[in-house]
A and B are shown apart, each in its own frame.
Chain A
Amino acid sequence: KQEVTQIPAALSVPEGENLVLNCSFTDSAIYNLQWFRQDPGKGLTSLLLIQSSQREQTSGRLNASLDKSSGRSTLYIAASQPGDSATYLCALNYGGSQGNLIFGKGTKLSVKP
């Protein structure tokens, strides 16, 4: 059974630091992987989607990598800002065309001014 783990559960950094959030999974047979951001009491905002054939995706200050063989994905945030404070979730599409996702519990990021 596919399991998704995100470490650390919470992270606090000063503004301007570069940081890495980790996502690990137990079964490498994934279709794709998506990183989301969730603000308190809100829905999820999609950040980056990596297909299983890709190794990384970039959007602005965000870079997500995928290593299926080791069961890992990382989300790199450059030059962090207080507005980056949120919970970051990774989700695996294990269902292929069904598109059903399994989510990690998330990493709660706090960027201090």
Chain B
Amino acid sequence: EADIYQTPRYLVIGTGKKITLECSQTMGHDKMYWYQQDPGMELHLIHYSYGVNSTEKGDLSSESTVSRIRTEHFPLTLESARPSHTSQYLCASSPSPGELFFGEGSRLTVL
């Protein structure tokens, strides 16, 4: 059973607001990932981290930023949200290469 949690699960905000999506895992995994998924489409990697103070951009360009100050937390921030940021954001952590455990996701709607 994977212990990875995302908050909020749903968020509706206005354009221009700053938002932070939280992701926490209690499994002690060094590797963590953020994926973006539009309805009916495949997941795209937007950020990943190999451990504390390590962050990398993924395959899909994103205006969001991430930080990894603690092993268990990997928050994602949008400084100024726009309607084009409306999507589902999925966080995952990994104990071994290619084996991922996902959170429930955060569904963001920007009006």
List residues of chain A with CB under 8 Å of any chain B CB.
4, 31-34, 36, 41-46, 49, 89, 91, 93, 95-106
Contact = CB atoms under 8 A, between A and B. Distances in A.
Contacts of B31: 99
B17 to A, nearest CB: 22
B97 A96 contact: yes
A46 B48 contact: no
B28 interface: no
B105 A41 contact: yes
Contacts of B2: 46
Of the listed residues A31, A91, A99, A103, the one surrounded by the most CB atoms of chain B closer than 10 A to its CB is A99
Interface stretch (B39-47, B65-73, B78-86): B39-47
Contacts of A43: 6, 90, 102-105
Contact of B107 (A41, A91, A97, A104): A41
Interface residues of B, number: 29
B98 A34 contact: yes
Given A31-B97, A99-B100, 9 more contacts: A32-B97, A41-B105, A43-B6, A44-B43, A89-B42, A99-B31, A99-B99, A101-B98, A103-B35
B94 interface: yes
B58 interface: yes
A10 B101 CA distance: 25
Contact of A44 (B41, B48, B102): B102
A41 B29 CA distance: 25
Given A41-B105, A105-B41, A105-B42, A98 B97 contact: yes
B1 to A, nearest CB: 10
